[in-house]
Amino acid sequence: MLEELLERAEAHIPKGYDPTLYKIRHSVAHIMAQAVVERFPDAKPTIGPPIEDRFYYDFEMSKPPHEDDLAWIEDRMREIIKGRHRFEVREVTHEEALALFEDNPYKIELIEELISQNGATPLTVYQHDSFIDLCRGPHLPHTGYIKPNGIKLLSIAGAYWRGDAKRTQLTRIYGTAWKNRTQLDEFLRHIEEAKARDHRVLGRKLELFMFSDKVGPGLPMWLPAGATLRETLIDFLRNEQLRRGYEHVSAPHIGHLDLYKTSGHYPYYSDSQFPAMETHEMDGYLLKPMNCPHHVLMYAHKRRSYRDLPVKLAEFGQVYRYEQTGELGGLTRVRGFTVDDGHIFCRHDQVEEEIRDCVDLALQVLSALDFKDFSVQLSLRDPDNHEKYTGSEENWNASEEAMRRVVDEMNLDTHEELGEAAFYGPKIDFKVRDALGRSWQLGTVQLDYNLPERFDLWYTGADDQHHRPAMIHRAPFGSLERFIGVLIEHCAGAFPFWLAPEQVRVMSISERFVDYAREVLDKLQQDGLRATLDVRSEKIGYKIREAQLLKIPYMVVIGAREVEQNHISVRARSGDDLGSMSMDSFLEFIHKERFPSMNGGSD
RNA sequence: GCCAACGUAGCUCAGUGGUAGAGCAGCUCACUCGUAAUGAGCAGGUCGCCGGUUCAAGUCCGGCCGUUGGCUCCA
C-alpha cells in the first residue's frame, strides 16, 4: 500500500526532470515552508512546487519577509535538514483533510477542488518533523538525503493566488536546491555568466541602443551601431521577401479610430493601447498598435482578380502598445517596436502553400542567425471555450488542420498548445530562449478569416463572382527590437561578420604609418565594408584591446613591415593572428562571410 | 497594474546624521610604441524628483518617477 502510494507519486515527476533533483526541490520546499511558518506563525502555506532549476512556495502573510528573515529561514532549513526527519506519507479521507487544514482557506479550496475532480480517490499528506502538507509527492525518504550546502534562497516576489490578479496577492519565496555544493555553485556561476551576455548590458557596452526617461519607458532609441544592425537585418529580410514575391508598402503611424473599430481591435485591446488622441474631430486618432488594418485597406483599394492572388504586402512597421509597466524590460518587451509585418491575401486553395512559404522564411531567418535551439509551437483554440474566438467552426477546423499538415510535412518538432490561438485564427510560433532561460516568441505565422470578413474583402473568381480571400499574418523576426535583444544574447555581442556594425578596424602602430592606414581604410570602404580607423597615439595593445571589447570581427594592424610590403596584418576577434597578406587576399578571405547564409529553410 | 529590491560622476560601485569618494572612460601633456590596458596631471556630481523630520539629510520618514526580478511548468 505504501509502495503503491510512492509509485503513484513518482508518476507526477515531469518527463525530462531528474527525479532525484525533483524530489530534493520538492522536499526542500516543504522544509522552507516549515521554517517560514516558524518565523512567521501567521503565514499560511499555499502551494510550493519544484520548477526548472529551482522551487518556490507561496504564502499568505501579513508582512513580507526581509532579507535578514531570509537568512534566518535559510539557516533554520539547514538545521531541519540535519535532523534527518522522515517524510511520512499517508492517505487521508476528505473529511480528515478538511479538518487538518481547517485554518487554511487555500488548502481547503484545493481540497474541495480535488474532491470534485477526483471523486473518491483519497488525498495524500506528507509530514516531516513538525510540518504537514497536502501533497501528492514524491519526496525523499528523509531530510538527510539533502546536502545543507546545496540549497539557497534566491528572491521574494508577489504572486497572485492561482495566477489571478483579482485574487489575493501572496508572497512567493524562490529558492534552489542541488545534489551538492558543486552543482549549486555551478548553477550560481551560470547565472552570473548569463548576466554578462544580458542584452541590456551589452547594448550599453557596444553602444547599440539607449532609453531615456525623457522619451519614456519602453521606447528604445537606436544608436549608430544598433541602427546599423537593424538596417542590415531589414535589408536581409527585404531582399529575401522580394525573392518570395512580396511587395513592400508603407503606412502612417496613426490611424483614425474608426479603422480599429472596423478591424475589431478597438475597444477590446484598449488596455494595451496608448489612449486615443484628442482632436477636434469626432473620435480622434490612435497610435497604430498593428499594421494589419492598413494593409487590408491597401488590398481593398482596387479590384482583385483570382489571377492576382496571392497579394503579399510587407512593411517594417513601427507600432505602439501600452504594455503594463511591470512587463517592460530591455528590448524584449517594449512599448514602441518594429514588426517585420507581412500580410498575404490568397485563395483558400493557396493557403497551405503560403503557410509553408512563411514557415520556410521564418526557418531561414533563424538559420541565417545560427539559432538552432528554438521551439515551434502550434497555437490552437481552447476546446472548452469556443466563444473566445470569431469565425466559423468550419474555417477554424480547416485552418488548424492546414497548419498541422504544414508542420508535419516540414518535419518540424512541434508542440501543440491549446488556448494559445489568436482570437481570429491559429498560429505557428517560433520561440527562442534568452540568456536567463526565459522563452520569447519571435517569429509567427497566423491564419485569419476574420479581418477579410470585417472589411468585406473580396476578389473576382474565374466564375465572375465575389469570393472572400484568406489572410495570413506573418513576421519572421516578430519584432526587430525583441529579435535583436535575443540575438545579442545568443551571440554574446559577437555578431556574424555580415551583421557586425563595425566589420574591420584599421589601426596604426605609430603616427608614421597614418597615411598608409588611411589608404587601407579607404580601400576597405570603397569595397563596401563598414570599416573605421584608429590612429590615436596609443600603444597597439591598447587599440587591440578596445577593438576586442567591441567584438569587431577583424583588426588590421599597420606598421613598418606592412608599409614596406604593401600588405596588411590581420587579427581575428577569436584572437587568431592571421598574419600578413595583401588587401586582395584579405577581401577574398572574408568574401564568404559578407552575406548571410542562404541555406536556411527547406531550399 | 500588484509584490520586492534598487536609483550617488558617462560606466561599475564605495560611502547608514556632521564640508561628496575610487577605478575605468573623458580632456591636457609626455612617450612613437608590433597583437587584450604607457605614465603624469586636470576636469567631472542639485547623491532620480518633490515634500517632511533635524541645529544638520546622499544617509531617517512619506509621495512620485524610473530600473530590475517575479505575478498558475497548478496538492
Residue nearest to nucleotide B36 (CA to C1'): A545
CA of A263, C1' of B62: distance in angstroms: 46
User: In terms of domains, do A26 and A51 share one?
Assistant: yes
Say whether both A405 and A551 belong to one domain.
Answer: no
AA letter at A371: F
Q: Is residue A382 part of a domain?
A: yes
d(CA A448, CA A396): 9
Which residue is nearest to the C1' sugar atom of B68, using CA? A329
Specify which residue's alpha carbon is closest to the C1' of nucleotide B35: A541
What nine digits make up the cell of A446?
497566423
Judgement on whether residues A245 and A275 belong to the same structural domain of the protein: no
Quickly give A172 CA vs B5 C1' distance in Å.
Answer: 14
Angstrom distance, A87 CA to B40 C1': 69
Q: Which nucleotide is nearest to A205 (CA to C1')?
A: B11
CB A346 within 8 A of CB A399: no
pLDDT at A24 over 90: yes
Interacting residues of A137 by C-beta distance below 8 A, sequence separation 6+: A5, A6, A9, A10, A12, A26, A89, A124, A126
Nucleotide nearest to A159 (CA to C1'): B71
pLDDT tens-digit map of A106-165? 999 988 888 887 776 788 899 999 899 998 878 999 999 999 999 999 888 889 998 887
Nearest Cα residue to A56 out of A183, A170, A139, A185:
A170
Nucleotide with minimal C1' distance from the CA of A56 is B70
Phi-psi region of A601 (alpha: psi -120 to 50; beta: other; left: phi over 0): left
pLDDT at position A539: 93
- Spanning CA of A395 to C1' of B15, the rounded length in angstroms is 67
* Rounded Cα distance, A382 and A396, in Å: 12
φ and ψ of A452, to 5 deg: -55, -35
A536 and A397, same structural domain? no
The answer to whether residue A306 sits within a structural domain is yes
- Please determine, for residue A576, whether its predicted confidence score (pLDDT) is greater than 60: yes
Residues 6 or more apart in contact with residue A455 via CB below 8 angstroms: A262, A263, A293, A296, A297, A300
Most confident of A163-177, A188-202, A566-580: A566-580
Interface predicted TM-score (ipTM) of this complex, two decimals: 0.91
Q: Which nucleotide is nearest to A66 (CA to C1')?
A: B4
Q: pLDDT per residue over A490-525, tens digit each? A: 999 999 999 999 999 999 999 999 999 999 999 999
Instruction: Give the closest residue to A454 by CA, choosing from A425, A478, A475.
Output: A425
Residue A275 sits in the same domain as residue A223: no
Closest of A377, A384, A475, A387 to residue A426, by C-alpha: A377
**CA dihedral for A530, A535, A538, A541, sign (positive or negative):** positive
Q: Which residue, A463, A490, A517, sits at the end of a domain?
A: A490
Q: Provide, in whole angstroms, the distance separating residue A216's CA from nucleotide B48's C1'.
A: 14
Beta carbons within 8 Å of A411's beta carbon, 6+ residues apart: none
Strand partners of residue A466: A460
Exposure string for A517-531, b = 16+ CB within 10 A, e = fewer: beebbebbeeeebbb
Please give the nucleotide, over all strands, whose C1' is closest to the CA of residue A437. B73
Judged by average pLDDT, the poorest of A271-285, A352-366, A470-484, A528-542 is: A271-285
Is there a single domain that holds both residue A258 and residue A369? no
Rounded Cα gap, residues A140 and A50, in angstroms: 13
CA distance A316 to A250: 8
What does the pLDDT look like over A424-440, one tens digit per residue? 889 999 999 887 778 88
Average pLDDT, integer, range A414-433: 88
The C1' atom of B34 and the CA atom of A507 lie apart, in whole Å, by 11
- What CATH number is given to the structural domain containing A365? 3.30.930.10
Q: Verify that A405 and A465 share a domain, yes or no.
A: yes
Number of neighbouring beta carbons within 10 Å of residue A267: 12
Q: Which residue is nearest to nucleotide B74 (CA to C1')?
A: A162
- Please say which residue of A458, A490, A522 terminates a domain: A490
Nucleotides of B under 7 A from a protein CB: 1-5, 11-12, 30-38, 65-75
- Residue A555 CA to nucleotide B24 C1', Å? 23
- How far is the first Cα of chain A from the last one, in angstroms, to the nearest whole number? 58
Asked whether residue A19 is assigned to any structural domain, the reply reads yes
- Is the domain of A235 the same as that of A322? yes
For residue A488, what pLDDT is reported?
95
A212 CA vs B52 C1’ separation (Å):
29
Query: How many Å apart are A76 CA and B9 C1'?
Result: 43
Scanning every strand, the nucleotide with its C1' closest to A201's CA turns out to be: B11
Residue whose CA lies closest to nucleotide B10 C1': A204
pLDDT of residue A37: 92
- Examine the pLDDT at A7 and tell me if it is beyond 80: no
Neighbouring CB atoms inside 10 A of A268's CB total 11
Task: Out of A465, A490, A515, pick the residue that ends a domain.
Answer: A490
Q: What was the pLDDT predicted at A268?
A: 67
> Distance from CA of residue A503 to its chain's centroid?
28
**A331 and A457 co-located in one domain:** yes
Q: Give the nearest nucleotide to A45, CA to C1'.
A: B75
| Closest residue, by C-alpha, to the C1' of B49 | A213
Q: Is the pLDDT confidence value at A270 over 80?
A: no
Q: How many residues does chain A have?
A: 603
Same structural domain, A168 and A68:
yes
Task: With cut-offs at 50, 70 and 90, classify the pLDDT of residue A598.
Answer: low
Query: Mean per-residue pLDDT for A14-31?
Result: 91
Contact A37, A121 (CB under 8 A): no
> Region A472-481: what's the mean pLDDT?
95
Here the CATH number for the domain that contains residue A138 is: 3.30.980.10
Asked whether residue A567 is assigned to any structural domain, the reply reads yes
Give the pLDDT of residue A302. Answer: 94
Find the mean pLDDT for residues A469-484: 95
Q: Which nucleotide shows the minimum CA-to-C1' distance to residue A537? A: B32
A419 CA to B71 C1' in angstroms comes to 20
- Cβ atoms of residues A443 and A366 within 8 Å: yes
User: Is residue A194 included in any domain, yes or no?
Assistant: no
> Which nucleotide lies at the shortest CA–C1' distance from A434?
B69
Query: What is the pLDDT confidence band of residue A602, given thresholds at 50, 70 and 90?
Result: very low
Whether A195 is in a domain gets the answer: no
| Distance CA A219 to C1' B50 in A | 25
Mark A126-157 as b/e (b = at least 16 C-beta within 10 Å).
Answer: bbbeebbbbbbbbbbebbebbbeebbbbbebe
For the four alpha carbons of A576, A582, A584 and A585, in that order, the dihedral sign comes to negative
Please indicate, yes or no, whether residues A354 and A221 belong to a single structural domain of this protein: yes
For the CA of A67 and the C1' of B18, the distance in angstroms is 30
Interatomic CA distance for residues A19 and A329, integer angstroms: 34
C-alpha neighbours within 13 Å on the C-beta side of residue A367: 13
Q: Into how many domains does chain A fold?
A: 4
How many angstroms is C1' of B65 away from CA of A215?
13
Q: Which three three-digit cell numbers place residue A15?
A: 518527463
For residues A314-340, one letter each, b for 16 or more C-beta atoms within 10 angstroms of the residue's C-beta and e for the rest, the string is bbbbbbbbbbeeeeeebbbbbbbbbbb
Q: Tell me the pLDDT of chain A averaged across its residues.
A: 90
Q: What CATH number corresponds to the domain at position A588?
A: 3.40.50.800
Q: Quote the CA–CA distance of A324 and A561 in Å, as a whole number.
A: 60
CA A472: distance to chain centroid?
22
Q: Are A334 and A211 a contacting pair, CB within 8 Å?
A: no
Cβ atoms A473, A292 nearer than 8 A: yes
**Sign of the CA dihedral with A244 first, then A474, A377, and A218 last:** positive
* pLDDT at position A419: 83
Domain of A176 in residue numbering reads as 2-183
| Inside any domain, residue A222 | yes
For the CA of A265 and the C1' of B65, the distance in angstroms is 31
Cα separation of A475 and A230, whole Å?
15
The pLDDT confidence band at residue A601, using thresholds 50, 70 and 90, is very low
Share of chain A above pLDDT 70, in %: 97
For residue A557, list its beta bridge partners.
Answer: A507, A569
- Looking at the structure, tell me whether residues A339 and A432 fall in a common domain: yes
Q: Is pLDDT of A295 > 80?
A: yes
The confidence score (pLDDT) of residue A561 equals 94
d(CA A175, C1' B19) / Å: 45
What is the predicted pLDDT for the residue at A603?
39
Nearest nucleotide to A562 by CA–C1' distance? B34
Closest nt to residue A157, judged CA to C1': B70
Q: Give strand letter and number of the nucleotide nearest A323 (CA to C1').
A: B1
Q: How far is the CA of A332 from the C1' of B24 (A)?
A: 29
Q: Which nucleotide is nearest to A124 (CA to C1')?
A: B75
Closest CA to A80 of A24, A139, A146, A31: A31
Give the three cell numbers for residue A522.
Answer: 579607404
Confidence category of residue A600, pLDDT binned at 50, 70, 90: very low
What's the sign of the alpha-carbon dihedral A435, A437, A438, A439? positive
Q: How far is CA A344 from CA A140, A245, A304, A461, A470, in A?
A: 55, 10, 13, 17, 8
Q: Which of A374, A473, A482 is nearest to A430 (CA)?
A: A374
Alpha-carbon gap, residue A517 to A546, rounded angstroms: 18
Does residue A434 belong to any structural domain of this protein?
yes
- The residues pairing with A262 across neighbouring beta strands, listed in sequence order, are none
Q: How far is CA A355 from CA A5, A426, A444, A474, in A?
A: 48, 12, 11, 9
Query: What ranges in A312-424 are assigned the alpha helix state H?
Result: 351-368, 393-409
